[in-house]
A and B are shown apart, each in its own frame.
Chain A
Amino acid sequence: MVNKQKIGIFDFTDCEGCEVALISLREKLVEIAAEVEIVNWRLAQKKAADGPYDIVIIEGTPITQNEIDTLKYLREQTKILVGLGSCATLAGIPGIIDKEARSGWYEKIYGKEYKPRGIDALPLSAYVLVDYSIHGCPVDKGELLRVIQEILAGKKPKNPGYSVCFECKLAGNPCRLLNKQPCLGPITAGGCGAICIRGGSPCYGCFGIRQDALIDNLAMTLRKFSDPAEMENYFSMFLKKTPEYKKLFGKKEQNGK
């Protein structure tokens, strides 16, 4: 009998929505769980085995020292490390807050006496090598299933090479940019089925910037109908801790004090 692959699912600071998406796979999750051995999953089971693991899936941002230490330890304990969701892969929404701004906000929200635990919201890749990133806020269920199945089959999954625009056209949505509404679809990796635009919202880039994206071209288009503050607002939703953001808008945000 072939030994089942040992999987550990962990979460750092986050909303747990990507784990909820995993549970929302329902019957498919049961099938996956039968193929492998989920030896550690805090949210869904009591069993919590120590490593080594074959695959470790991590959701969330390592924001406290404890989480950073755990992340480094888990990297040593696993053959494959997978980032689950935009908090893990990009720093995502928690990444909106810059490190320098934190102290002022701690004082404002928690008071002077408070000893904070959070250091900075950064992606997993700021600390360790990540073998594969499943992007999205939250992750797309179909994409999640595809990637897990490919990893289990021993393949190295690839991010879709196309942009959100490609899927947006397939979905038959009117183009936001042509209607002079900001959208990061052209530079964002596909895989989401353009779900936000289908719902009437813009693309804020939660699947990460795709390979060979023409960021300057998009910036030029956006400048035609939006002011710099609005443009920055779009790029700072999920992408604030990316090098591309720093290149476009290299400045500090105001401290909460």
Chain B
Amino acid sequence: MANESFIAKIEGHGNLHLDWGKNKVWLEVEEGERLFEAMVVGRPAKDLTWITPRICGVCPIAHNLAALKALEGAFNSRLSGSTILLRRLLLAAQILQSHTLHLYFLALPDYLGIDSGVELAKTHPTHFKEALELKRVSDLLADSIGGRGIHPTATAIGGFKKALSKNKLEDLKSEVERLLEPAEKTVKLFSSLKYPEAKTDLTFLSLTSSTDYDVYDIKHISSSKKAQGKISDYRTLINEEIRAYSTAKFGKYSGKIVTVGALSRLNLSGNLLSGKAKELYKSAGIDFQNPYHNNLAQAVEIYAFVQEAIELLDQLTNNEIEESKTLITNEDFKPGKKVRGIGALEAPRGGLYYEVGIDAKGLITDCNIVTPTVQNLPSMEESAKTILSKQKNSSKGRAEELLEMLIRAYDPCITCSVH
């Protein structure tokens, strides 16, 4: 094979460069730097939760909630039981929104041999109907609880600015229950797809609760090959490297390449799923050595988070919302001394970390954000290399197609990776 290189177009403003002869692969991210960690400095603490969701329009709620967790850590806020349930519900809605968008609108067309998700309406109307229903109800959940599905308006440091009535929560529950069927069909559909073969040795990393599949109230950083790490040590554990060819940093865990996201969560916490979600997970046939199976893992999570949303809505409707402890009217915190907080959670694409320093007057002094895609970029390059090395006898076109599908299977969020 000649020593030529070509560029595969990937999601976001990034290019995958390949050099056949040298078996070299590098991911060039060229999105402009917005400098979010600089934007918030000197501004009141509450602005963090308003500004940083704008890092990413696909997972803004994850950024909003991680920012809130960091600030609540700094201010020692005590959250009501209702607040935690509503936050978990909001994050479940976020994962449903994001996975639905990715699976049906971005990944599925590859496997069905069509050009775009919109074409599904004509070529596969049943799948399209299921996708739209998942999208409609997950948007409705996010709109209702967060005030707006993209860039929340109703969350607050310590709780919510608006609370939902019991009637509204009951309506939402009946809407979410309608998703059980399309969610199950999603798992069946993605189990039936023919994924490219790949054998990689991935190290999985995920924030875990160790007691259930919770993605909001997490306790540790868990790795499939190393001992558990403390969230407070995230800065020493996750090292970010600068590469001349990329505006996104490249993250490693204790110096090693790791994989984050749905496949990692299922690998590390899948056994903690319950009920039908666990059954579907067990029967889906996920191959953890095959990165393409991240799509299948996301499909399983669609069912798991529909099930979780129903359970959360059950709890919320069975007990009254403690309005006095949930509703927040004032977010102007002036701590009177320097304070610092770290907030972390599992965003749709993996572990998201926020750290914020606040001065005595309540103004932000510094901020650090580590996004899931930053942690996944080295793994994407590594897996691409492994797959490329097995394609010496394939046509250039086929190899390019496989690599594009691989990058898409990772579901990278380029806008998150450059922030």
List A residues at the B interface (Cβ < 8 Å): 12-21, 23-24, 26-27, 29-30, 33, 38, 41-48, 61, 63-64, 66-67, 92-94, 96-97, 101-102, 105-106, 108-111, 113-118, 121, 137-138, 195-196, 198-201, 204, 230, 233, 237, 254, 256
Contact = CB atoms under 8 A, between A and B. Distances in A.
A222 B242 CA distance: 44
B50 interface: yes
Nearest to A33: B118
A118 B154 CA distance: 32
B153 A195 contact: yes
The 9 A-B pairs with the shortest beta carbon distances in the complex, nearest first, are A17-B57, A200-B161, A199-B147, A199-B153, A63-B32, A45-B116, A13-B32, A199-B154, A15-B57
Contact of B147 (A29, A116, A200, A230): A200
Contacts of A61: 32, 34
B161 A199 contact: yes
Contacts of B156: 200
A121 to B, nearest CB: 7
B359 interface: no
Given A93-B51, A115-B244, A20 B152 contact: no
Contacts of A33: 118
B136 interface: yes
Interface string B218-253: 000000000000000000000000101001010000
Contacts of B249: 110
Nearest to A236: B43
Contacts of A116: 33, 247
Contacts of A43: 11, 106
Interface of B: 9, 11, 13, 30-35, 37-39, 41-44, 47, 50-51, 54-58, 60, 101, 105-106, 109, 115-119, 121, 132, 135-136, 139, 146-154, 156, 160-162, 242, 244, 247, 249, 415, 418
A24 B34 contact: no
A118 B101 contact: no
A196 B53 CA distance: 14
B34 A94 contact: yes
B55 A118 contact: no
Contacts of B56: 15-17
B415 A14 contact: yes
Nearest to A255: B38
B50 A26 contact: no
Contacts of A96: 39, 51
Given A20-B150, A230-B44, 20 more contacts: A15-B60, A20-B58, A45-B118, A46-B116, A47-B115, A63-B32, A67-B32, A93-B39, A94-B32, A96-B51, A97-B38, A105-B38, A109-B38, A114-B242, A116-B247, A137-B151, A196-B153, A198-B153, A200-B156, A200-B160
Contact of B162 (A27, A102, A114, A200): A200
Nearest to A87: B54
A60 to B, nearest CB: 9
Nearest to A233: B43
B154 A117 contact: no
Contacts of B160: 200
29 contacts: A15-B60, A15-B415, A16-B58, A17-B60, A18-B57, A20-B57, A20-B58, A21-B57, A26-B136, A44-B117, A61-B34, A93-B54, A97-B38, A102-B35, A109-B38, A111-B242, A114-B244, A115-B244, A137-B151, A138-B57, A198-B147, A200-B153, A200-B160, A200-B162, A201-B153, A201-B161, A230-B44, A233-B43, A237-B47
